[in-house]
A and B are shown apart, each in its own frame.
Chain A
Amino acid sequence: MTRFTSSGNFIISKQIPLGVNLTELMKNAVSPETNKLLEQAVFDSSRSSSDIGVSEATSLEDRIYQALAGAKILTSTFAMHLDDDWRCKLFSQLDSLHDPIEWEEGDKPIQKESFITFLRLWLFIRPAKRPGLGLSFNGNLIAAWTEGQNRLTIECLPNDAVQFVLSTELGKRIVRTAGDCDVDQLLACLGPYDPGRWFRRG
């Protein structure tokens, strides 16, 4: 019998032949979550906050808090590549979007997968101008840049997908167009409309 706790105590009370990698032996027999615990126990590392998840929230306020907290923790994954000042403003915008007093029943707080796409988009484009942020009814993050009559709105969907809508002055006409693509295709899709007007500092 092998016994361990999530804090890393590891006791083997049944003899296992030398050379058998216990982690390998058990890897296929237990769930991914258990594997994580097992790895931690075998290496007996100090516990990291990413090793644990908190219990599922039940109240609306808790659900909003957890989604917001999750977004901020996700940001830390990218933090070494982000400007500190912008990160603080991003958090302030996220706080404002998740104000429980303003919250309407049925709205969804920010969705983790959408926020990952947003952060990846941000680091891929590295815009000098900061967008206004909003949330769609289903919790997708929306980023909007406005420069005079020229507007660009991007909804971040899961798995690096984005939907964009733009209106821009071409000659005397205002042209409107929309499309969807992956983050790494966005600049090519926006190419004909001079995307620098939204992303470059004026």
Chain B
Amino acid sequence: MATTHHRPLYPRPPITEAVIELRFKSACSDSNLVKISKSFKKHYPGLGKFTAYEMLFNVDDKGVSSQVKDKVDSYKLASNDQQEIILLSPRSIVISQIAPYPGWDNFFTRFERDWGIFKKKHKYSEISRIGVRFINRIDIPKSDHATEESEFLTIFPQYPSEFGPCNKYGLSISFLINDINCNFSLNSSVISSPIINHISILLDIDISREKEVPQNDKEIFVLLQKIRDEKNKMFELCITDKSRRLFQ
């Protein structure tokens, strides 16, 4: 399909991982999953098996207990440099790109290719959810004065000034984006920075549709492009110019 060509917005985007996930109503068999994983070998020579667990939690007056009910074999395939990853589970396919993010055009082209490969081996199953997730980490150099979240973000917790600078926080927001009939969820928190003398703030954005989910390629691709545009819009709304300068 013809796509609008987008140049990456920033030379050094803070994206640590970009994900497109499709979930299905019915599960594919383990033998079929093995066949699918083999068909990706050319692009993803690294193969690892992992087990997803279905768990039961019992919540009552005595507390909480948990038990593992079922386990599901799943596959993680990766390119040689480990930046391009696919997760195959009986009910989902995840196309993931870890940093450095090469831009949407590149990522989306890979999705189109891999979705094509997947469909050749995968028996038709209704798509129950389409989601796009971008995990951003903003690394802020420490300065002599305490860093105020408001210098870098427009979204942060408010608390009495008497508390003083906070070491940690976490916030979660979700709402419906009516225009595209998608759920938006954002999780943000201060995390320990991997870079010395920095503080890092996570902005984890997930946009997904679970109702009236498109089933044909053309509509799926259109939805993904729309989600991407919304994701960019939301991200830009959450950050300040001071953040933007960090990504140059």
B interface residue count range (under 10 / 10 to 19 / 20 to 34 / 35 or more): 35 or more
Assess A3 versus B206: contact at CB under 8 Å? Given A47-B92, A54-B76, A80-B12.
Answer: no
> Hey, what's the 0/1 contact readout for A57-92 against B, CB within 8 Å counting as 1?
000000001100100110011111110100110010
B85 within 8 A of A: yes
A143 located at the interface, meaning its Cβ lies under 8 Å from any Cβ of chain B in the complex:
no
Beta-carbon contact of A48 and B57 below 8 Å: no
Q: Is the interface of A mostly helix, strand, loop or mixed?
A: helix
Contact with A along B45-59 (1 / 0, CB 8 A): 010111111111111
In contact, A119 and B48 (Cβ under 8 angstroms): no
Beta-carbon contact of B59 and A80 below 8 Å? no
Q: Per-position contact with B for A87-109: 1 when CB-CB < 8 Å, else 0?
A: 11001000000000000000000
**Main SS of the interface on chain B?**
strand
Task: Verify if B65 is at the interface (C-beta below 8 Å from A).
Answer: yes
B197 touches A184 (CB 8 A): yes
Q: Give, as a whole number of angstroms, the nearest-CB distance from B209 to chain A.
A: 11
Q: Which residue of A lies closest to B196 (CB)?
A: A124
Cβ contacts under 8 Å, B72 to chain A: 5-6
- Count of chain A residues near B, Cβ 8 A: 53
* CB nearest to B100 among chain A residues: A79
Whether, in the assembled complex, B212 has its beta carbon less than 8 Å from a beta carbon of chain A, the answer is no
A53 touches B50 (CB 8 A): yes
Give min CB distance, A162 to chain B, whole Å: 12
* Chain B residues whose CB sits within 8 angstroms of the CB of A52 once the complex forms: 50, 52, 74, 76, 87
List the A residue with the shortest CB-CB distance to B132. Answer: A46
CB distance from B33 to the nearest CB of A (A): 14
Known: A6-B53, A54-B76, A73-B82. A43 touches B174 (CB 8 A): yes
Given A6-B52, A22-B59, A53-B50, 7 more A-B residue pairs with CB atoms under 8 Å apart are: A3-B56, A50-B17, A52-B50, A73-B98, A81-B195, A84-B100, A160-B196
